[in-house]
Amino acid sequence: MAIPETYLRVSAPLLAYLLMCLFGVIVEGNFYEDIDITWGENGGVKILGSNSLVLSLDQFSGSGFRSKAEYLYGRIDMQLKLVSGDSAGTVTAYYLSSEGPNHDEIDFEFLGNISGEPYIVHTNIYTQGIGNREQQFYLWFDPTKHFHTYTILWNPQRIIFLVDNTPIRVFNNYEARGVPFASNQPMRLYSSLWCADQWATRGGLVKTNWSYAPFKAYYRNFDAKACVWSKGSSSCPSTPVAITTHNDTWLVHDLDAYGRRNLRWVQKYYMIYNYCKDYKRFPQGRPRECRLSTFS
């Protein structure tokens, strides 16, 4: 089935943060300037240029990096080409996270597989240290052949996961109705390539074949449009402003009818696990956000 074209629109009027957020916004990231290597300093991370980077994994070490900047809301785009061939047991993680035991986190995790079997895209959202909001998907393409764009869009109204600008998941802000949301903890971007063969492939039944090491994941074109957190304050204004027109800003992005149709298309044909549909896991009733959202 051919993938339908995806559109995101700006809803108006909406409550949104406005022009001051342009100060401190990061655009067209530079790997030399904008990241710190957190793991694999001795060759596990190779920066090939301002917009190109490689992570590697062998039986001795994985590798990873994080953004120097912290963000409180943003649209983070990255192009990735995942580990090819027999990638069983490997996990390429790409996520936003704050620090501390009550942290917030927005996760993409790409779970490898044996040759010829599809990757699983594992997503999760933590608020105030509590996750358990897993949704998993197959992809409609081979993510090891070419670069594809993976996006975390996080604004005051919602979190949207996108793949090549196609929405695959939406988590709305229902704080007013008792559901915690990632709204007050700044987060950094993190990414890592590591071995999790105790659970990553078929629940740990398939182990990593180290004869194929080193495993490599490729990154390019890091682009963070975001409100930067610095010295205890955000570059965005603290008070929402009502607007009627503001063409193409991530701070007020919502899905229009085309985006909602595409989201449902992904969920119908490519979703393989949804915590909101796991009734055995929640015998006392589904989480509150599942009962509120039309996208669960």
Q: Which residue numbers are catalytic? A: 105, 109
User: 44: which 2 tokens?
Assistant: 């596990």
Query: Rounded to whole angstroms, how far apart are CA atoms 106 and 153?
Result: 10
Q: In the 3-class helix/strand/coil scheme, how is 162-178 assigned residue by residue?
A: EECCEEEEEEECCHHHC
Q: How many CA atoms lie within 13 A of 15 on its CB side?
A: 8
Amino acid at 176: A
3-state secondary structure of 77: strand
- 289 and 171 in contact (C-beta within 8 Å)? yes
Distance from C-alpha of 178 to C-alpha of 202, rounded to nearest angstrom: 35
Tokens in use for 173? 């802000």
- Cα separation, 28 vs 77, whole angstroms: 9
Residue 61: how many other CB atoms lie within 10 Å: 17
User: What span, in angstroms and rounded, lies between the C-alpha atoms of 126 and 159?
Assistant: 12
| 204: CB partners within 8 A, 6+ apart | 197, 198
Contact between residue 123 and residue 134 where contact means Cβ atoms under 8 Å apart: yes
